[in-house]
Homo-oligomer: A and B are copies of this chain.
Amino acid sequence: MVTRKEVAERAGVSVMTVTRVINRSGYVSEPARRKVLKAIDELRYIPNKTAVSLVRRENSKMIVIILPDLLNLYYMQLVDCMAEYLSAKGYGVMLRKVTPKNNNEVLKELIAGRVSGVLNMAFYPFDEKLVGMMAQYGVRSIYMSAELFNVEIDYAPAIEEAIKRAAARGVKRVGFLRGKDFLEVIRIKNIKKCCEKYGLEFCNDPMLISDYPEGDSFYCGYEYTYEFLKSGRRCDLLFCLNDTMALGAVKAVSSSGLKVPEDISIIGFDNILTDLYVTPTITSISTDVHEQAEIYASYLCGAKEVMVQNISTRVYYRESFPE
């Protein structure tokens, strides 16, 4: 493996001169510089960043985004935006999928690899000890687990607006198709409260509790909605935990011989692009991805020291919601 030393020898200078050329630091004479450049080219030398960050006691300029699910476009849209922002600041962005099982292990691995920052978009709870370790090893982090988070997405106003509007259009019963547990408890509360406020009935049926994320979103959306309707139960407006679930729900409604939005209105969360690809297009509640990405990114690459942000959302009205 080619190292600085070999380059130095071939160029007939010392290692430091090579370093100076590579890092554009300090003075180096033009002839020396040229010899070094030539040697680098001939030897096809690429510096070892690993060694650099070791000696500089810096973490590698790498931000890792931890995801529970690579197939959810919402995450990808966010990552996409963040990548743009972060690469401009000289950071690389990488994705890492985790499961509830290897959750903590992966985090530890990332600390061991001394990355600069971690954005945890998986909602799996993880060792508080590890969180402390992140800080200790200079790994900045944003996490969104149930107990432990430093950023909160505020769905309340958007949910209220949607429900108010639905009430004005004659909606009576509201359902929420969700997963087993997790963060959505907050959303349930919001929906329930708004239903009371606007005199709607919140249909808290156990048939609307799917086994996401074990089952995949679309399957859960389809299957649970289908069974719900088949059993003769009804609601006029169905919130779905995420948009892919909403896609499944829409398909289930039409499989049941009903129509969206005439018979049932559907609202998803996250505003993924697929919402626009299908017929009817899907109404969705979500943050502004760009704004969210910028908040995350600027924190992760060290702009601000503290951070307990509240990120706002809005409703993107589309065909799955009555005019």
Determine how close the nearest CB of chain B comes to the CB of A124; give it in whole angstroms.
Answer: 16
* Per-residue contact bits, chain A 117-159, to B (CB 8 Å; 1 contact, 0 not): 0000000000001001100111000000000000000000000
Q: Are B136 and A44 in contact (CB under 8 A)?
A: yes
Q: How many copies does the complex hold?
A: 2
Residues of the B chain whose Cβ atoms lie less than 8 Å from the Cβ of A218? 273, 276-277
Q: Are A46 and B137 in contact (CB under 8 A)?
A: yes
Q: Are B87 and A102 in contact (CB under 8 A)?
A: yes
A213 at the interface (CB under 8 A from B): no
A64 at the interface (CB under 8 A from B): yes
Task: Given the known inter-chain contacts A71-B77, A277-B251, please indicate yes or no for A96 contacting B94, CB distance below 8 A.
Answer: yes
Within 8 A of B (CB), among A241-283: 244, 247-248, 251, 254, 273-274, 276-279
Q: Are B273 and A114 in contact (CB under 8 A)?
A: no
Q: Are B273 and A1 in contact (CB under 8 A)?
A: no
Chain A contact-residue range equals 35 or more
Determine how close the nearest CB of chain B comes to the CB of A57; give it in whole angstroms.
Answer: 7
Give bound CA distance, A1 to B109, whole Å.
17
* Further 15 A-B residue pairs, CB within 8 A, beyond A48-B114, A93-B96, A94-B95: A1-B136, A44-B133, A46-B108, A46-B112, A50-B53, A50-B60, A50-B113, A51-B54, A70-B76, A70-B80, A79-B97, A92-B106, A94-B94, A251-B277, A278-B279
Q: Are A93 and B83 in contact (CB under 8 A)?
A: no
Residues of the B chain whose Cβ atoms lie less than 8 Å from the Cβ of A311? none
Residues of the B chain whose Cβ atoms lie less than 8 Å from the Cβ of A24? none
Give bound CA distance, A50 to B138, whole Å.
15
A111 at the interface (CB under 8 A from B): yes
Determine how close the nearest CB of chain B comes to the CB of A33; give it in whole angstroms.
Answer: 20
Q: Are B92 and A80 in contact (CB under 8 A)?
A: no
Chain A contacts to B: CB under 8 angstroms:
1-2, 44, 46-51, 53-54, 57, 60, 62, 64, 70-71, 73, 76-77, 79-80, 83, 87, 92-97, 102, 106, 108-109, 111-114, 129, 132-133, 136-138, 216, 218, 244, 247-248, 251, 254, 273-274, 276-279
Determine which residue in A87, A97, A136 has the highest number of CB atoms from chain B within 10 A of its CB, and name it.
A97
Residues of the B chain whose Cβ atoms lie less than 8 Å from the Cβ of A247? 277-278
Residues of the B chain whose Cβ atoms lie less than 8 Å from the Cβ of A113? 49-50, 60, 62
Give bound CA distance, A59 to B246, whole Å.
43
Q: Are B50 and A114 in contact (CB under 8 A)?
A: yes
Residues of the B chain whose Cβ atoms lie less than 8 Å from the Cβ of A71? 73, 76-77, 80, 273
Residues of the B chain whose Cβ atoms lie less than 8 Å from the Cβ of A57? 1
